Structure 1
Amino acid sequence: MTDTLPLTMKAAICPAPGAPVEIREVAMPTPGAGQVLVQMETCGVCHSDLHLREGQENLPDSLYPLVLGHEGIGRVVQIGAGTKNAPEIGTRIGLPWIFETCMQCKPCRTGHEALCAAGNARGVQKHGAFAQYALCPADFAVEIPEEIDPLRGAPLLCAGLMAWSALRKTRLEAGTNVLIIGAGGLGQYAILIAKVRGARVMVVDRDPSKLKTAKRLGADVIVPTGEDAGAEIRQAGGADVTLNFAPSPAIWPMIEAAANPMSDIVAVAMVHDPMPLSMMWLINGGHRVFGSSVGSRQELADFLAFAAAHPLRVEVQAIALEDVNAALDALKAGDVAGRLCIDFAQ
């Protein structure tokens, strides 16, 4: 198969922080020792890609021009010389946020690879999957179950995995009241995962259409954002677990008002400004407040097995690679109901 590969490929590249993404013809990457080359089938378009295009992650200019994308699915077409334990040619694998880590530090050894200080992210420190071909370290190649459609499956590698990992860290049991703040793509995956696990799900969002979608996906209680939202949630039973997907510190008073004693509160959305967390509220309520980012390889494998058995019907809209910049503009404008995904067959 190596002899049939082209010398160049198309890729969606961000030339500099704050610059529009450009479709360019670039040299085909070559897998080195420990790497495989993947022919991409699909790649989801994520808010993190928008942040990177807009220059909001404060990356050094030296990392640009940069191929974005970290929700990729494709098949292995080439294996680097000397690579051990590589997936076989033709294996369908995922290309998620984590590109590689040191595999030696305490976070890596305890299943918290996202916290590795030496880790590299796909589409950040390493070129991503908005391209016809992409590299993947063999040690970080997670196989995609054949039951999962590549178009629907691509957003599972970041949006779905973040929801899964966040819920996994909580004391979720059947009958637990789970409050989800923000019913965009991540929130929708959280609704579906929590419902399968037997939770009673409450959703808060400012967009009536997203609340309607949340109800369709199985949310038991929907509440529009407002001054009384926390009290309404508390009146409806209160929150034992809260997942925040809304990137604003303004939601904290609502979280305090909604929380039952001994609740778990998980920060998932990237909120750069401080929140007014009261130590006395924390002590008197016995709450746990913690953050959650992307999941580990094992969490991804577990989640994909779960998704294969329980298809997660979040709306996914297919786009062509050439339309990725317009897709990022749509995300910026808030005009996306579910998830967007590049279909490389278009």
Structure 2
Amino acid sequence: MTIPATQAAVIFEKSNGPLIYKTDWPVTQAKELKPGEALVKITHSGVCHTDLHALKGDWPLDTRLPLVGGHEGVGTIVAIGEGTTTNRKIGDRVGIKWLADSCLDCEVCRRGQEATCSNAVCSGFAVHGTFQQYAVSYVRHLTPIPAGLDPVQAGPILCAGVTVWKAIKQSNTNPGDYILISGAGGGLGHLALQYAAAIGLRPIAVDTGEEKRKLCMELGAEKFIDFRTSQDIKADIRAATDGLGPHAAVIASSSAAAYNDALEYLRNHGTLVAVGLPADSYIKANVFWTVFRALRIVGSYVGNRQDAIEALDFAARGKVKAIVKVQPLKSLAEVYEGMEKGTVSGRIVLETGA
């Protein structure tokens, strides 16, 4: 396959930008790839709130600078580094996720928790990501895209989908249980509703606004609770769940208050699954009541390679569908602006033009 010398990409050189759309960003050539690396021609890339955190530099982690962000890329392998041992081949359709690589040999990797590997490398954070037309990634962590799955749909599943699917798997719930999704109308939450409904859980949606209420109900929520108009959100949540509270709460929003509220409205033996990342926030759990009510607090940080395959399979079978708006790569700054204002429903996918 012909590999151009330059490409379109969106970069930033310092925290908080500005974002720079370039058409002469260099493309890594096949001879430059190291063993274990592949060059993927990116046609589509989802946009995640984590990408906005990378731009703003508001995590207590060092971000590579300058940086091409993005980690929900879908494309085709066009080159593989010489000396690489892999079943992947040129022409395979693959996805690039947040987790670009891990050692696969330490204790957490062997237990299927490679995201927390001490040698983990993240796309669009520690290495250049998918807001470009050609991206270098590590072959062993590329995810095969099911035949027939629209790349526009596959992009959001590679991060938002796998993240909430993993969170639901960790929620300690069974079919018929109530599961509350906070931020249910957003990019993560609207997918969480569908995964929950697909496995027989009873989703309760928390978000705000008529547009998001309508979306959540269409996607399988049993009840919608507007946190802005509710006079007593904890009481409203308990009332929607047989008066006892949900069996689990997946906090997919970036609201610090949502975490501490959950510890009060969960039913006994309930599970709080922490997903959203409000800046500089703490979960304040009363030790006595946490023990006395046997509550569980679980941090859920993306998923492993198998979780990604499972998450994509739901989409390929039509059980989960991302609500997507497609925009050109050069519109990324406008997308971030909408995300910061909270006006984005569902998910944004960028077409790279590759």
TM-score range, shorter chain: over 0.9
Distance 1:113 1:230 in 2: 36
Residue of structure 2 in register with 1:55 after alignment: 57
Deviations 1:163-186, CA, capped at 9 Å, x for gaps: 100001122221010111112110
Assess if the C-alpha contact under 8 Å between 1:230 and 1:256 holds in 2.
no
Aligned-partner SS, 2:188: helix
Question: Structure 1 pair 176/244, CA: closer, same or farther in 2 (3 Å)?
Answer: same
Amino acid at match of 1:33: P
Distance 2:282 2:60 in 1: 18
Unpaired runs of 5+ residues, structure 1, are: none
Amino acid at match of 1:300: A
Taking the TM superposition and a 5 Å limit, the aligned residue runs for 1:28-177 are 28-30=27-29, 31-60=33-62, 63-177=64-178
How many percent identity over aligned positions? 33
Question: CA shift at 1:194, angstroms?
Answer: 0.4
Give the root-mean-square deviation of aligned CA atoms.
1.5
Assess if the C-alpha contact under 8 Å between 2:8 and 2:352 holds in 1.
no
Assess if the C-alpha contact under 8 Å between 1:227 and 1:254 holds in 2.
no
Residue of structure 1 in register with 2:18 after alignment: 20
1:228 has 2:229 as partner: no
1:286 has 2:286 as partner: no
Assess if the C-alpha contact under 8 Å between 2:71 and 2:159 holds in 1.
yes
Distance 1:282 1:276 in 2: 10
Residue of structure 2 in register with 1:205 after alignment: 207
Assess if the C-alpha contact under 8 Å between 1:74 and 1:93 holds in 2.
yes
Question: CA shift at 1:55, angstroms?
Answer: 2.0
Amino acid at match of 2:248: V
Distance 1:253 1:134 in 2: 40
Q: Which moved more, 1:180-189 or 1:241-250?
A: 241-250
Distance 2:221 2:25 in 1: 45
Distance 1:313 1:306 in 2: 9
Amino acid at match of 2:274: A
Question: Structure 1 pair 86/7, CA: closer, same or farther in 2 (3 Å)?
Answer: farther
Distance 1:57 1:42 in 2: 26
Distance 1:205 1:219 in 2: 12
Question: CA shift at 1:206, angstroms?
Answer: 2.9
Question: Structure 1 pair 104/50, CA: closer, same or farther in 2 (3 Å)?
Answer: same
Distance 2:299 2:231 in 1: 25
Distance 2:235 2:260 in 1: 10
Distance 2:260 2:78 in 1: 51
Aligned-partner SS, 2:234: helix
* TM-score, with length taken from structure 1: 0.95
Task: State the aligned residue count.
Answer: 343
Amino acid at match of 1:219: A
Distance 1:166 1:121 in 2: 19
Deviations 1:279-337, CA, capped at 9 Å, x for gaps: 11111111111100111111111221222113423311111111112111121122211
Amino acid at match of 1:147: G
Amino acid at match of 2:34: G
Residue of structure 2 in register with 1:340 after alignment: 348
Distance 1:317 1:171 in 2: 33
Distance 1:314 1:121 in 2: 23
Deviations 1:181-236, CA, capped at 9 Å, x for gaps: 11211010000000010111111113332122111111001111145111122122
Aligned-partner SS, 2:267: strand
Assess if the C-alpha contact under 8 Å between 1:252 and 1:277 holds in 2.
no
Deviations 1:77-130, CA, capped at 9 Å, x for gaps: 111111111411111000000011122221111000111121110011111011
Taking the TM superposition and a 5 Å limit, the aligned residue runs for 1:192-271 are 192-225=194-227, 226-237=230-241, 238-271=245-278
* TM-score, with length taken from structure 2: 0.93
Distance 1:96 1:49 in 2: 12
Assess if the C-alpha contact under 8 Å between 1:261 and 1:285 holds in 2.
yes
Question: Structure 1 pair 150/333, CA: closer, same or farther in 2 (3 Å)?
Answer: same
Assess if the C-alpha contact under 8 Å between 1:204 and 1:229 holds in 2.
no
